[in-house]
Amino acid sequence: MNMDTADWIVVIFFGFATYAAFSIIYNLYLHPLSLFPGPRLWQCSYIPRFLAAVRGDLDADIKAFHEHHGEVVRYSPNELSFTAPEAWKDIYGFRDHALVKDPSFYGLIHLSRDRSHSIFTADGAQHPRVRKALSYAFAERALRDQEPYVTKSVDLLMLKLRELAASRPGSSGGGSSGVVDLVEWYNFTTFDIIGELAIAQSFGCLRGGRYHEWVRGFWDVNKLGAYVRALAVSTYAAFPQLLRQLAPKSLKDARRRHLEYVGRSTERRLNEGELREKPDFISYVLAGGRDEEQQQHLTPGEVEANANFLLLAGTETTATALAGTTYYLLEKMSAAAYSVLEALEKRATNIVKASALNGGTFTLPLNVFISGASEMDRSLVPTLSFLIVHDDDHGQRTNILFDLGLRRNVEDYIVPVKKHIQFRQPMNTLPDVRQSLIDGGLNPSDIAHVIISHVHWDHTGTPSDYPQAQFWVGSGALNVLKDGLGSHMSHSHFESELFSDLNVKEFPKPPLDGENGDGWEKLGNFCVHDFKGDGSVWVVDAPGHLPGHVNLLARLAPKRWIYLVGDACHDRRLLTGEREIAEWKDSEGRFCCIHADKKAAVATLARIRDLQAAAEQSGFELEVILAHGMDWAKAHPEAFLPGTV
């Protein structure tokens, strides 16, 4: 009996259908792995696993299966996934306990032109030999020798990021580059580092601010990983070869170019031999192999495969981890800062008015305050004071001053300060805070409280102008006036009789981390004191610059606040990250800083920066005002008394 084409089609169709049906039944009920939990559709066929791998969703899908089914999941007919920690040793254990690497997966990974093994694909007797050869490149001495190359690239990354920050809209650089893609810049860094260490050749990504041609091709090669994972789905040897053809030609061409580049670079590097002046991975592999028996040597193909493996494994993966870490750190900090704003707003039942007051001007040598400034960089700055006007529910008005600026008559300063002032010229003490109040329609006798951010001479003004006021200073400030700060702060001078015959109190000592007490509360990373009891004025502990240094938060309207930072920040570029806090050496060679505790000052600055960023992202209006902010003073003449902020 002859069968026509239609009959054969029917036979073939029913043959495949019968095979598929029996395969599904076998995989679900008779397979050795049939008792393990997992998604039934995935267990009966390789197709869902294949599609997920090509889409790049396989890992996310497996994670979801574990969340539903537990520590062991069967996610294809022949594969199990484990999350139990003890499974690691059973699967990846050494020597007698080691499992053979699955050739359906590892056999598809070729990292050299002659298909030599890398440490990733080597198995059995080959793996210890390759591992031994590479161990020289990761010994403690080797890592120390390689550290300068890592440091050089990290320093260049920070320089480039500062340049980008300076060119952002609204920064002092005045540029318009917008958002910075940190993922890209982390990749620039890791590729430059691993290029130097693997093949003694930097890709120049950081310096040029763009990907090297080979690195651009790397991303196409990386995409082939999805197809490799998809191909490793069958026990039939011919099936992966068939599926390999599904990979786009552009990706396969990119892979060939990738292998050629790594191969030529490795050949060049091997021809150079050991480079004692530039100890990269290959130098240590060659040196180690020379000292061992011949069987410990790596072949040129194996060196090529392992150089390629290091280029693949040490670049994008590290950059991705750094980007993820940065994201979660910033998200956590932003969330913590946002929770502070929410808590402050929730507690507030009142608002205040705030006005800036002229407290004189003087000249700052910028090299003492910010990094990257020369001795010739000098800036005329104000020393601002602020009037906070608080009205309670009964119509009772309380006028509060925050800082007093410069002293009206410089001859009234103590001798060391008068000598110091000679280096702060030009300087103008008029109008001072007292005169600014009078010009704005108030008398010094109208002031009920004076809060001093810290006891440096340019913030304490003429206290005797306010004999009836209650003065407030931070904890430890009175001891600073009495005893000074020691030789490491010899550039700071203090007046022991500053508040003589005046009513002065110290705020209680802020509690330890995580505690409340003595009127202080912990809100996120901030330690705050509700000055008026209605959430409208908060004294903020701001350690670092001097003992007892405090800031002030004031609520001007719902979700509108000002943050008076005192000397926590001397230059707005410290807030944007364009500059860092400066250090210098004194005449005896000791490192000095304008802050008594630089580490604490950096932490305070970071908290302010986080709070500012959280406000920008969450609909709060938070204006951070520097005591010496000339840019703010020029931009806001309407904020000075009798006007308001």
Q: What is the pLDDT of residues 345-404, one digit of tens each?
A: 999 999 999 999 999 999 999 999 999 899 899 999 999 999 999 999 999 999 999 999
**Start and end residues for every CATH 1.10.630.10 domain found in the chain:** 132-314
Among residues 218, 315, 210, the alpha carbon closest in space to that of 261 is found at: 218
| CA distances (Å), origin 239, targets 16, 74, 229, 235 | 16, 21, 13, 8
Cβ atoms of 644 and 361 closer than 8 Å? no
Residue 162: the pLDDT is 84
pLDDT in tens, 314-355: 898 999 999 999 888 777 766 778 889 999 999 999 999 999
pLDDT of residue 349: 96
Task: Give the residue with greater pLDDT, 12 vs 103.
Answer: 12
Strand ranges inside 344-502, DSSP E? 352-357, 361-365, 378-382, 385-391, 397-402, 449-451, 470-473
E strands, 70-155, where? 72-76, 79-82
Q: Give domain 326-639's CATH architecture.
A: 4-Layer Sandwich (3.60)
What whole-number percentage of the chain has pLDDT above 90? Answer: 53
Neighbours of 173 (CB within 10 A): 18
In this prediction, residues 59-85 reach a mean pLDDT of 94
Residue 539 CB partners (closer than 8 Å, separation 6+):
451, 472, 507, 528, 529, 531, 550, 551, 552
In terms of pLDDT, which residue wins out, 96 or 421? 421
**Residue 174 pLDDT class (50, 70, 90 cuts):** very low
What is the rounded average pLDDT for all residues in the chain? 87
Q: pLDDT per residue over 452-468, tens digit each?
A: 999 999 999 999 999 99
Q: Give tens-digit pLDDT for 189-245.
A: 999 999 998 888 889 999 999 998 888 877 777 766 666 666 665 544 445 555 556
Over residues 587-638, the pLDDT tens digits come to 777 788 999 999 999 999 999 999 998 898 888 999 999 999 999 999 999 9
| DSSP characters over 201-214 | ----HHHHTS--HH
The stretch 437-462 carries a mean pLDDT of 98
| Paired sense of beta strands 550-557 and 560-564, if any | antiparallel
pLDDT tens for each residue of 294-305: 445 788 899 888
Q: What is the largest CA-CA distance in the chain?
A: 125
Q: Among candidates 430, 141, 167, which has minimal Cα distance to 279? A: 141
Cα dihedral 264, 268, 274, 278 in deg (nearest 10): -90
Burial of 593 (0-12, 13-18, 19+ CB in 10 A): buried
Task: Work out the angle at residue 632's Cα, subtended by the Cα atoms of residues 631 and 635, and round it to the nearest 5 degrees.
Answer: 85
**Quick one: angle between helices 249-272 and 213-231, nearest 10?**
120
Q: Under a CB-based contact definition with an 8 Å cutoff, are residues 471 and 498 in contact?
A: no
User: Under DSSP, is residue 387 helix (H, G, I), strand (E, B) or coil?
Assistant: strand
Enumerate the CATH 3.60.15.10 domain ranges in the chain, comma separated. Answer: 326-639
Grouping H, G, I as helix, E, B as strand and the rest as coil, residue 297 is: coil
Task: Specify the pLDDT at position 220.
Answer: 72
Q: Provide CATH code, domain 132-314.
A: 1.10.630.10
Instruction: Provide the CA 546 distance to its chain's centre, in angstroms.
Output: 27
Q: Which of 577, 581, 587, 554 is nearest to 567 (CA)?
A: 581
* pTM exceeding the 0.85 threshold for the entire prediction: no
